[in-house]
Structure 1
């Protein structure tokens, strides 16, 4: 063999050994890091779902029926079910107290798998389903990531149970293979680059040609990228133009609703008060408190117009008034007795949802004052299936027929359509109901996030 051949062979063998050794080391490190990172993040995520629903087991007590129902709700959560295949809750003695597979509840499989989580650390296994308690999970197709997490008492921080869940590991395996494949590709490319650099010592003449080819290719790619960016910017400008037109229409509609739901309603009340004052004036017994009420209402209209202006100038970013304050302001304005309950629950909603709910309730109360003379008005709130339900009721004549409602909308009576728009904007359901004993109920159902 010539010196050139010996040099090239030695360099090639050395590079192959280095690449294989580094590839094995990097693959092992990447696999361990990915699985450990997934274990920690997933364990923390699941603990937030499971731990609040096992607090009845503190002090060695059995799992309560209420917590069982809550765990069933967690298991049936559509978002969770997309990647969590099965869940088990163990007590510290190795007995399963709750599971997706109900046949396992009450069975004891020992504490061999619970040693690590009972010390306060999560444990995880990849496709390790050989235990007797894994009969149900072995029926699933595809890889499974099994994680044990300690569940602690909120009172003293002691471990009262262990949560075990089985996650669909298809995504993890895909990411792992992608990372390993990328590592091997990078190492292989680096090895080949080193070998090519050594080989280039014997072929200096090819460097100029290769660099020129690379420069031409780079210029071509930059030109193509520039053309693609230009086309994307042009499309973005067209999209932005359409969005600006839609925003202009939406702003106009919201200004109309703000004016209708606030000052217009108060002007209606002021008109009624003026009619009453005209009647008592003809009898000669007008009272000063009626005039004071109208003056207060006029001041209120000015305040509302100023608030609307401030909200529009601030792009709706201000803190909305609490629902209890909205109801109290109505009661003071109309001199009506309004029964309330649970209004503080609206603090669970996002600010846009709070603002929308307040507008709908205010409109419903004003309608109750106008059409039901404020008889039996109440505003109550409660939680049901992850939603906040607010009901505004009165003891008036109830809802008119559907054709009458349609005629009112056509005649620019925007109270109902305004409430529907507000509900649609915050993702709520709006229902109108007339009970058998009379009256009207406006029901708003908003998801609690």
Structure 2
């Protein structure tokens, strides 16, 4: 089934507006998802920064003073352990927020832990300890995957893990403190905040998509109206082109019919001249001969002789005109015979010689086209005789790729198109104008080349003359493609 213009403008059955909305929805949802994730991440970072500050304050206020009293921090003496354990004794308010305290050497060795005590003296590889030992505060939320945090993992609580450097009175880092802060309430608040953030993001996305849909829908309706108008204009243009082509073909047919009627009228005029004025003038010649008497004076005989000569001249001119106007029975002879007949008639009327060179020619041809070729040869040879004395007259014709190639030439010195404006010149120009009209009627091509060496008349005529179309012209493939694109 052929695709229509609407089919080419859709994808999976979706209109242009729905395609845009689908693409916009995907892009917008992805963008808002990234935005929501980023907002939640920023909230979590802010919470961690706040919690980290509290943990750092605890370490600096309660742990650093105890460590500053020591001379070495390779190991902590028992009294230091007792002081640190006292911070996490039963009933102390600090237990409500801080769960575990660990002290580390920079090499990852555990100096102190409130529980379990079995970790003291063990060494672990920890990037967080190394970062804190370089002076950085590290805060992480529920990132307990290492071996040293197995106890905290078993508590089932939401914890914030904070690493902070501990310094002596000179500002040198003497150890790293790690605190696990109870973040159960904070975790709940983060969940609520995250939920509200996603609700706001989804609501904003829906509102934006709604506005985009309204805008695109309005634009799509405008495009559809313009598409419909363009389609209508295109169909009107196609109909007008069909009408113009039909009228052009009808005009060509009318010209062919008019030419045939003109030829018939010309032949009738030639016959009427032969049967009317020529016969009357011939009768006048006989009567003038009977009027001549022996007893007439020389002057009277001279007058009669002059009248006879003038009448004979008129009869000769009329016979030439009649012979030129009357066509042979074109319908009963072929194209080859018609061309030879035109050349022989010209030879008989002018006493000149015409060389005829004929190549392959079709045996069946329309009478109108044969009449056209006959008249072209007749007019061209007449011009050749009048302006070049009939020197080197030659007619050649052949068929090539569905076209008749006709050439009439002479080798006279006088140029056909540049003679002075005499009566003969006017007739010549009318003859050439007639040739051009005949060639144009059949959709052919005419080329006249004239110089000091002679004149060449070249004519190309198609074998098939234009005919009217009986049915409406079909839409071409290119027009169909344009219609579908519109």
TM-score range, shorter chain: 0.3 to 0.5
Larger radius of gyration: 2
Q: Which has the higher contact order (CA 8 A, sep 6+)?
A: 2
